[in-house]
Structure 1
Amino acid sequence: MARGFKRRDGRFVAKLDAVERGLVVGLMEQVLELVEPEPTAGNELDDDATDGDEFDRIVAGLGGIGMGVSLSAADQAPELSGSVPQPRDPALERIFPTANRQDDQVAAEFRRLTEDGLRARKAANLTTAITALSALEDQKISLEQPQALALLIALTDVRLVLGERLGLKQDDDFDRLEEQVSGLEDDDPAVYALAVYDFLTWLQETLAHALAP
């Protein structure tokens, strides 16, 4: 059974079993792929690179309950031909929100100047968190403060992406989704997806509390 983070002797300790830790690491690896710099021409990812996508598994079948969940921007627009760029993944808008909603040109220029640096910092935090959790040989997690801070930020980004995949945009969307899945079987993908989001929220809250002065 998972135990949330607590501060002990200057370190931040928690307990996650192998399945729970593997879930968190798998999600972070998917978000890392999302925030890393986009591949340049001639270095595109193969179509098979997304096989086994953790988000794909978690939100599989959610369209059946009326949430209209799409896993990528390409699912939300007609296929484009020629050299027209594909739509930007909406999850990226959650992680890198626009700086100016009134002026698209200003927002695009700001993004051009700052997004690479933001991507690098987020990728570094995700990598630190993944390395820290992957190095464990038992259920106990014991992190130094820099690792704990990186994990806190990484969990934020994972929750933002998963929230976008689940259609959680407004404050009451979680309650609405919870009500929609309340009558489903425990092994339904929608129930599992909501449980994962709830678990990540709980884990992040315990870590934030432990880090607080």
Structure 2
Amino acid sequence: MARAFVRDGARFVAVLDETERVVLAGLMQQTRMLLAPEVEPTGDEWGDLVASLGASLKGDRAGGADDERDPALDRLLPVGHRGDDAIAVEFRRLTEEGLRQRKSGNLDVAVERLRSARRGRVVLDQAAATAFVMALTDVRLLLGERLGLHTEQDADALYASLDELDELDEDDPTGYAVAWYDFLTWLQETLTTALMGETGPGV
């Protein structure tokens, strides 16, 4: 069972079990592949777990021409000017590649920290903690887009629809994705709190 991120001296430490680390690294790798489709995943440990989220989560497009652009990319790489298409296109041309690289770099750092955990302890220094928070933000944006969560009303409607089901099929990717969205939200909040200066007991 996960234990929240806490500050431990100059480090930030959480405890995540193997399944939590594998699935979280897999989701980060999926986000990384969306940002940089030419990058192939390494290893296959997480593949089956992430694949179990279903096609509705992974999407069926990875970019390319604007008419084929995955809408999740517009959440991860928002336009710079919503009132003028020409300005927005030029802003994207000038900035998108750098933004993709920065976000991909944050995800790489986060995946490396997850995979280097010892006895479940995910240990981050200040720079890695900042990258980890940003990586969690981008994974949540991707999951939110796949779940159709654009407003608080969307979230309320989704949770209400799940609550109305007498029994959720364990193979239902929506319920699984919502559970992971909630987990990511909680984990990000604990790391953000630790980064803001609250000191917790040693882990």
Q: Where does residue 59 of structure 2 map in the other structure?
A: 71
The answer to whether 1:151 aligns with 2:132 is yes
Q: 2:80 aligns with which of 86, 99, 107?
A: 99
Please tell me whether the aligned partners of residues 26 and 50 of structure 2 are also in contact (alpha carbons under 8 angstroms).
no
Partners in 1 of 2:80 and 2:50 — Cα distance? 27
Cα deviations across residues 109-153 of structure 1 (Å, max 9, x unaligned)? 110000011111111111111111111132112211111111000
Q: Where does residue 77 of structure 1 map in the other structure?
A: none
Shift of 1:88: 0.6
| TM-score, normalised with respect to structure 1 | 0.79
The answer to whether 1:141 aligns with 2:129 is no
- Number of residue equivalences: 187
The answer to whether 1:185 aligns with 2:180 is no
The answer to whether 1:163 aligns with 2:150 is no
Q: 1:55 to 1:20 in 2, by over 3 A?
A: closer
Partners in 1 of 2:112 and 2:11 — Cα distance? 17
Partners in 2 of 1:162 and 1:54 — Cα distance? 15
Shift of 1:86: 5.2
What letter matches 2:35 in structure 1? V
Please tell me whether the aligned partners of residues 147 and 174 of structure 2 are also in contact (alpha carbons under 8 angstroms).
no
Runs of 4+ in 1 over 3 A off after TM superposition: 52-56
Please tell me whether the aligned partners of residues 6 and 191 of structure 2 are also in contact (alpha carbons under 8 angstroms).
yes
Please tell me whether the aligned partners of residues 56 and 71 of structure 1 are also in contact (alpha carbons under 8 angstroms).
no
Q: 1:198 aligns with which of 176, 182, 191?
A: 182
Partners in 2 of 1:203 and 1:139 — Cα distance? 15
Partners in 2 of 1:85 and 1:102 — Cα distance? 18
Shift of 1:192: 1.3
Please tell me whether the aligned partners of residues 55 and 162 of structure 1 are also in contact (alpha carbons under 8 angstroms).
no
Gaps of 5+ in 1: 46-51, 63-68, 75-83
Partners in 2 of 1:14 and 1:177 — Cα distance? 29
Q: 1:11 to 1:85 in 2, by over 3 A?
A: closer
The answer to whether 1:9 aligns with 2:9 is yes
Partners in 1 of 2:152 and 2:61 — Cα distance? 23
